[in-house]
């Protein structure tokens, strides 16, 4: 390792975990999850963080395999993400999209030129026979990331929505129809037969696993597709290491995306503690925002500021997660 690399890694080790157990797995969707992951990447050494990313949003479009959540995590960690949107590339251009519009092609999914370059490279790697996780590792390497970012599975798991406008693929609902259809049920095609990607399975089975962090991502659309893989849920239930989940709902509203609207349509009151029953078979602590302190009715809940607008807020929430896990571990070892 070069001196520069070493320095970068050392800079990251603001809060080094106990050397005997040092792997943290973060289960992550798109924008909200990526924010926490960027905080975790700042305080953990690269070899201590494994980010397992939702693939339920993946789809084929214009001949490309597009993995929106993986892209958001990669772009965020590489410092390339569009700062206001939280997804896509900063400093983007739209030459291809303009021409696709002229050609009468589908243009409801925004594809910037820089973004397309990554999609082309991933599609070429996949067509060359790489698994999705191997292709993604190669993309991460080219973006000069040393954190492990893996799809939750190398098999396709596709989120399908049963709505008042019929059965819709996720992007058809989310982007093309702007979440307007009312959702009646959510289904994850392929999940039952999918298995965990090698890096995720190795981390969850490692004797060095310190804990699992469920990022503040939509429980139905981002975490749900992952938990629908039987191997993951079984593995989480059987873990010795603690599991901490951060609620994506603050004061009755989703920070981003359609979570709260969907909850209403599914007959669930949108409240921060709604994730507790969803994850109850494996979660040790559910983290609520200070705005929702009144919902922390028992010891299963922790309350910290969870809004992440600034880098400092991302690092602070990441530190809280690590601290909670360390405290749970200390308690268990007594």
Binding site for a copy of itself (CB under 8 A): 60-64, 93-100, 102-105, 112-114, 116-118, 120-124, 126-127, 139, 142-143
Nearer to a copy of itself, 82 or 233 (CB): 82
Write the CB contacts of 125 (distance below 8 Å, at least 6 apart in sequence). Answer: 134, 135, 138, 139
Least separation in angstroms between CB 169 and a copy of itself: 15
Residue pair 92/115 in contact by the 8 Å Cβ criterion = yes
Least distance (Å) from a copy of itself to the CB of residue 116?
5
The least CB distance from residue 38 to a copy of itself, in Å, is 20
CB of 76 to a copy of itself, least distance (A): 17
Does residue 91 contact residue 83 with C-beta atoms inside 8 Å?
no
Q: Is 51 or 135 the residue whose CB approaches a copy of itself more closely?
A: 135
Residue 318 CB, nearest distance to a copy of itself (Å)? 28
- Residue 172 beta carbon to a copy of itself: minimum distance, rounded to whole angstroms: 16
Distances (CA, A) of 286 to 12, 39, 49, 243: 26, 18, 20, 9
Q: Which tokens is 219 given?
A: 């429980």
Shortest Å distance, C-beta 129 to a copy of itself: 12
Summary count for the chain: helices (H), strands (E): 13, 14
Nearer to a copy of itself, 138 or 187 (CB): 138
Element (DSSP H or E) covering residue 208: none
Tokens of residue 100, six digits: 């696709």
Contact 229, 235 (CB under 8 A): no
Q: How far is the CB of 35 from a copy of itself (least distance, A)?
A: 24
Nearer to a copy of itself, 60 or 281 (CB): 60
Nearest-angstrom CA–CA distance, 61 and 36: 29
Nearer to a copy of itself, 142 or 184 (CB): 142
Residue 44: name the closest of 240, 322, 329, 307 by CA.
Answer: 322
The tokens describing 154, both together, are 């190398």
Least Å from the CB of residue 128 to a copy of itself: 9
Beta carbon nearer to a copy of itself, 128 or 230: 128
Q: What is the dihedral of CA 93, 98, 99, 100, to 10 degrees?
A: 110
Q: With 0-12 CB in 10 A as exposed, 13-18 as middle and 19+ as buried, what is 272?
A: buried
Task: Count the alpha carbons within 13 Å of 119 in the hemisphere toward its beta carbon.
Answer: 23
- Give the whole-angstrom CA distance, residue 191 versus residue 195: 8
Q: Of 78 and 182, which has the nearer Cβ to a copy of itself?
A: 78
CA 309 to chain centre: 17
Q: Given the complex with a copy of itself, which of 116 and 212 has the nearer CB atom?
A: 116
Residues ≥6 apart with Cβ < 8 Å to 172: none
Comparing CB distances to a copy of itself, the nearer of 19 and 104 is 104
Whose tokens are 């494994």? That residue is 50
């Amino acid at each position: 390792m070069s001196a520069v690399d070493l320095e970068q890694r050392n800079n990251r080790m603001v809060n080094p975990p106990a050397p005997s157990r040092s792997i943290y797995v973060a289960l992550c969707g798109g924008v909200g999850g990526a924010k926490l992951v960027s905080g975790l990447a700042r305080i953990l050494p690269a070899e201590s963080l494994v980010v397992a990313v939702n693939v339920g949003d993946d789809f084929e479009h214009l001949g490309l395999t597009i993995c929106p959540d993986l892209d958001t995590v990669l772009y965020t960690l590489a410092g390339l993400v569009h700062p206001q949107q939280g997804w896509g590339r900063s400093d983007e251009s739209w030459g291809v999209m303009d021409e696709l519009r002229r050609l009468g092609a589908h243009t409801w999914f925004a594809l910037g030129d820089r973004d397309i370059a990554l999609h082309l490279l991933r599609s070429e790697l996949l067509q060359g026979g790489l698994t999705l996780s191997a292709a993604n590792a190669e993309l991460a390497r080219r973006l000069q990331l040393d954190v492990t970012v893996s799809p939750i599975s190398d098999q396709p798991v596709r989120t399908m929505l049963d709505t008042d406008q019929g059965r819709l693929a996720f992007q058809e609902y989310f982007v093309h129809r702007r979440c307007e259809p009312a959702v009646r049920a959510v289904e994850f095609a392929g999940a039952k037969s999918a298995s965990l990607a090698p890096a995720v399975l190795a981390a969850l089975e490692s004797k060095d696993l310190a804990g699992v962090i469920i990022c503040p991502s939509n429980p139905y659309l981002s975490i749900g597709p992952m938990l629908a893989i039987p191997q993951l849920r079984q593995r989480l239930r059987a873990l010795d290491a603690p599991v901490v989940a951060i609620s994506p709902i603050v004061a009755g509203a989703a920070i981003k995306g359609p979570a709260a609207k969907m909850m209403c349509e599914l007959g669930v009151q949108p409240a921060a503690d709604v994730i507790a029953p969803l994850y109850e078979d494996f979660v040790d602590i559910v983290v609520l925002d200070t705005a929702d302190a009144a919902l922390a009715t028992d010891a299963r809940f922790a309350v910290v500021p969870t809004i992440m607008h600034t880098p400092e807020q991302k690092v602070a929430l990441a530190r809280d997660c690590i601290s909670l896990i360390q405290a749970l571990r200390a308690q268990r070892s007594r």
